[in-house]
Amino acid sequence: MIIILLGPPGAGKGTQAQRIETKQGLVQLSTGDMLRAAVAAGTEVGKKAKAFMEAGKLVTDEIVIGIIADRIDEDDCKNGFLLDGFPRTVAQAEALDNMLARKDLKLDVVIEMKVDDAALVDRITGRYTCANCNQGYHDVNLKPKVDGVCDNCGSTNFKRRADDNRETVSSRLEAYHAQTAPLLPYYKAKGILKVVDGMADIDDVTAQINEVLGSLS
Ligand code: AP5
Ligand code: MG
Ligand code: ZN
């Protein structure tokens, strides 16, 4: 199965992708995570991407298309994958269509996670993740069961993203509305767009997504 999770920054793409990955055995491909790893490692891609990411602007299509083209060639993508944060422009969506056509694969569904802009700032500024296993948390909405200890791996080290501040969030939202929202009519026209209410609580959103995925098989 090939799934796209589409939604603005803070919509819950990463949170739900981790859950679908576990339940469906599909590998999560997050271009944001891949780019942050490249920045941390100081690779050529990371050097090119860093300033765009810090400003809350999209990295060039050429860079992200190259990253995804290489990644979906790997063995663990053979049984399908879940795209989180890609595509984000019509050019990226068209490039993905071409990559899949060459491999004789097709997109099963695009799930739009609809969330009001006003809710996104709080979600993003309250977000943190485990520095060891990348499990996501939130200061108010999703705390670890034991304060300061990761539920998943027991680590006591957590981190916050450099772009999770109020100023950068507004640029990221602008980029979403200007460059990514046009993908909604693009996929609607193909008849594969499904919408879930991302304002609901986290477990409820998971249930809505499971219902969509269940209706496909
Ligand atoms: P990326 O890492 O993709 O960031 P993003 O799209 O801005 O999305 P986020 O990761 O911020 O949000 P999310 O939807 O994953 O939310 P989460 O589940 O964490 O991209 C970062 C940057 O990389 C971009 O700005 C760009 O520069 C570059 N980039 C990446 N891909 C690119 C591409 N294809 N092309 C060009 N450039 C690219 O949830 C957020 C918080 O809310 C968490 O704390 C969570 O616990 C909480 N939460 C989640 N769901 C709920 C809920 N239902 N109710 C209450 N709280 C919730
Ligand atoms: Mg994310
Ligand atoms: Zn952990």
The H helix count followed by the E strand count for the chain is 9, 8
DSSP state of 196: E
Helix (H, G, I), strand (E, B) or coil at 6: strand
- Asked whether the bond before 144 is cis by omega within 30 degrees of 0, the reply is no
pLDDT single digits (tens) 135-149: 999 999 999 999 999
Reply yes or no on whether the pLDDT at 105 is more than 80.
yes
Q: How much is the pLDDT for 136? A: 93
Give the pLDDT mean for 36-53. Answer: 96
pLDDT single digits (tens) 8-32: 999 999 999 999 988 888 999 999 9
Query: Could you tell me the pLDDT band of residue 106, with boundaries at 50, 70 and 90?
Result: very high
Mean pLDDT of the chain: 96
102-133: b or e for each residue (b if 16 or more CB lie within 10 Å)? Answer: eeeeebebbbbbebeeeebbebbebbbbbeee
**Known catalytic residue at 13:** yes
Question: For ligand 1, which residues put their CB under 6 angstroms from it?
Answer: 7, 9-15, 31-32, 35, 52-53, 56-59, 64, 85-86, 88, 92, 123-124, 126-127, 136-138, 141-142, 172, 198, 201-202, 205
Reply yes or no on whether the pLDDT at 217 is more than 80.
no
Q: Report how far residue 66's alpha carbon sits from residue 121's, in angstroms, rounded to the nearest whole number.
A: 30
Query: Could you tell me the pLDDT band of residue 188, with boundaries at 50, 70 and 90?
Result: very high
Q: What is the 3-state secondary structure (H, E, C) of 25-53?
A: CCEEEEHHHHHHHHHHHCCHHHHHHHHHH
Q: What percent of the chain has pLDDT over 90?
A: 94
Interhelix angle 117-125/166-175, rounded to 10 degrees, is 140
Closest CA to 196 of 42, 61, 6, 28: 6
At CA 172, angle to CA 77 and CA 179, rounded to 5? 70
CA of 127 to the centre of ligand 1 (A): 10
Reply yes or no on whether the pLDDT at 4 is more than 80.
yes
Q: Name 27's bridge partners.
A: 81
Among 59, 65, 72, 205, say which to mutate for ligand 1: greatest number of ligand atoms within 8 Å of CB: 59
